[in-house]
Amino acid sequence: MEILLEFFNRFIAQVQSPTLAFLIAGMVIAAFNSKLRIPDAIYQFCVFMLLMRIGLKGGMAIRDANIVEMLLPAVFSAILGIGIVLLGSITFARLPGIKKDDAFATLGLFGAVSGSTLAAGLMMLEGAGVFYEAWVPALYPFMDIPALVTAIVLANLYMSKEKGGAGAKVAIWPIIKDCLQGAALTVLIMGVVLGLITKPEKVFEGFFDPLFSGFLSVLMLILGIEAYKHLKDLAKVAHWYVAYAFVGPIVHGLMGFGLGYVAHLLVGLSPGGVIMLAVIAASNSDISGPPTIRAGIPTANPSAYIGTSTGLGTPVAIAVCIPLFLALGQMVFGF
C-alpha cells in the first residue's frame, strides 16, 4: 500500500511539469474552440530544433562512448518494434469491427517512434537529474523502421491473399529508404553525424541547447491542439481504437522496460537508459510515420490510424507513460 502511495506521489510530481502542462493546455484551449493557431512553419522549426539538439548532444557524447554497449539495446529495439506490431496483429487486429488494413496501419504507427515523445522523455530525465547513455536517442531508427516495415509487409501480404493472389512480394528496401528520408530521422541522424565529426560545441551551447525546453513547450502546445482536433475522428471508428490507444502504450512501455532491465543485467544499461527504452517503446509516430504508412497501405483509413495515434496515443505516451516509467524506474532502481 505504502509503495503504491509513493509511486502515486512520484507520478503526480511529473504531471505538474511545464512540458505536460503545455500539452494539457493545448487540449483545453482546443476544447474551448480557441482561434489560436501556431503556424505550421513554427511547428516544423520546433521539430527541427528539438531533434537537432538531441542529435548533436548524442553525437558529441558518443565520441567518447563505447559504441559496442549499444549493440544489445539496438537489437532489443528492433525486437520491440517488430514485436509490438506482431502482438497487435494477433490481438487488436482480430477484434470485431476492425478492418485489417486500418489495424496494420495503426499498429505500424504504435510500433514506430515519436520525436516529440523522445524529446519530452529526455527533458524529464534531465530535469530529474537521471543519467542516461549518450547513444540512447540513436535507438530511434532501430525501433522505428522495423515496426513500419513489418506493418506494411503484413498489410500487403494480407491484401494479396484476399485477392486470391499467391502472395505478392513486397519490396522492403523502398520502405526503409522512405523512413530514412523522412524529416525526423534526417535531422536526428544529421545531428548525430555533425556532433560526431565536427566541433559544434559553440552553436550547441549558444543556440540549440538553451532553446530546447522552450521549443519543447511550444511543440507540446501544438500537439495538444492537434490531439483534440483528431479526437473527433475517433468517433467515426470502432471503440476498440480508443481502448488500444490507452492500453497499447502502457503494455508496449512495459515490454520496453522489461527488455531494458534484461539489458541492465546483461550489459549494464543504465536506469535512465532502461526508462528511455520504455518511453521509446510506449511512443507512437506522429511526424514521419503517417506519410510512410499512407504510401505503404493506401487503402487504410487515415481517420482511424492518425486519430488513434495523434489524438490519443501521443497524449497517453507523454502524459501517462513518461511519468509512469520514470516513477517505475525510481522504484525499481531505488533513486
Which residues form the interface with a second copy (CB under 8 A)?
Answer: 16-18, 21-22, 25, 28-29, 32-42, 44-45, 48, 127, 180-183, 186-187, 190, 193-194, 197-200, 202-203, 206-208, 210-211, 213-215, 217-218, 291
CA angle 270–276–279, rounded 5-degree value: 150
In terms of CB distance, is 170 or 180 closer to a second copy? 180
Q: How far is the CB of 17 from a second copy (least distance, A)?
A: 7
Q: How far is the CB of 111 from a second copy (least distance, A)?
A: 21
Query: Which H helix or E strand runs over 219?
Result: helix 212-234
Q: Enter the C-alpha cell of residue 293.
A: 504508412
Work out the end-to-end distance of the chain between its first and last CA atoms, rounded to an integer number of angstroms: 19
In terms of CB distance, is 29 or 87 closer to a second copy? 29
In terms of CB distance, is 211 or 267 closer to a second copy? 211
Q: How far is the CB of 190 from a second copy (least distance, A)?
A: 5
In terms of CB distance, is 34 or 299 closer to a second copy? 34
Q: How far is the CB of 35 from a second copy (least distance, A)?
A: 5
Residue matched to cell numbers 491542439:
225
CB atoms within 10 A of CB 181: 11
The alpha carbon dihedral of 314, 317, 318, 319 has a sign of positive
276: exposed, middle or buried (Cβ count in 10 Å: 0-12, 13-18, 19+): buried
Q: What are the backbone dihedrals phi and psi of residue 257, each rounded to the nearest 5 degrees, phi first?
A: -60, -40
In whole angstroms, give the CA distance from residue 133 to residue 59.
Answer: 11
In terms of CB distance, is 35 or 163 closer to a second copy? 35
Q: How far is the CB of 39 from a second copy (least distance, A)?
A: 4
Q: How far is the CB of 300 from a second copy (least distance, A)?
A: 20
Residues 87 and 109: beta-carbon distance below 8 Å? no
In terms of CB distance, is 26 or 256 closer to a second copy? 26
Q: How far is the CB of 77 from a second copy (least distance, A)?
A: 22
292: exposed, middle or buried (Cβ count in 10 Å: 0-12, 13-18, 19+): buried
In terms of CB distance, is 194 or 237 closer to a second copy? 194
Q: How many residues does the chain have?
A: 335
Ramachandran area for residue 129 (φ above 0: left; ψ -120 to 50: alpha; else beta): left
In terms of CB distance, is 127 or 302 closer to a second copy? 127
Q: How far is the CB of 203 from a second copy (least distance, A)?
A: 5
Tell me which DSSP letter residue 279 carries. H
